[in-house]
Structure 1
Amino acid sequence: MKLDVYGKEVEVIRSDSRWCVYYLGAEGKKRIAQDLNIPSDLPESEVMDFLADLCHEWAGPGRVEVIRIR
């Protein structure tokens, strides 16, 4: 799933029973987000809330929520 996390685009993928998070670049490239670790037992329905809590420092004017892009 692709998310806008307080203005930063990330992709979250389930792989080998764990969550992998990638930062998305403007030119279609992505890099592993080593600083964003989602517990492997967290259900998909709770990923957005988890990232909202984890990354709340990124919030600011015009960047007030975590939304699903695709």
Structure 2
Amino acid sequence: MKFNIYGRFQVEVRREDNCWQVYRIALGKRGRMNDVVIPSHLEEEEIVTYLDDIFHELAGIGQRVERVLP
């Protein structure tokens, strides 16, 4: 799943070994964000809210975290 974080950057969240892994996407590259930990018990539909909770300090007025559909 890919998410647009307030129009500033994108992340990809993948389920690997029963854990959520977060990768930052930039210019065709992908780097793991080890400092972002998503609890493994969260369901897919809860991740957008969780990302908004942890990145909210980056938000401007009216901005939000959005899932990027393929």
User: Normalising by structure 1, what TM-score?
Assistant: 0.88
State the partner residue of 1:23. Answer: 24
| 1:69 equivalenced with 2:44 (yes/no) | no
State the partner residue of 2:32. Answer: 32
4+ runs deviating over 3 angstroms = none
Q: Distance in 1 between matches of 2:67 and 2:24?
A: 14
- How far did 1:35 drift? 1.8
Question: Which whole-Å deviations, capped at 9, do the CAs of 1:4-59 have from their partners, x for residues lacking one?
Answer: 01122000001110000000012x11000112110011111100000001110111
Q: How many residues align?
A: 68
User: Normalising by structure 2, what TM-score?
Assistant: 0.88
Specify which structure has the higher proportion of strand: 2
Q: What residue identity is the alignment partner of 1:46? A: E
- RMSD between aligned residues: 1.3
Q: What residue identity is the alignment partner of 1:11? A: E
Q: What residue identity is the alignment partner of 1:49? A: T
State the partner residue of 2:47. Answer: 47
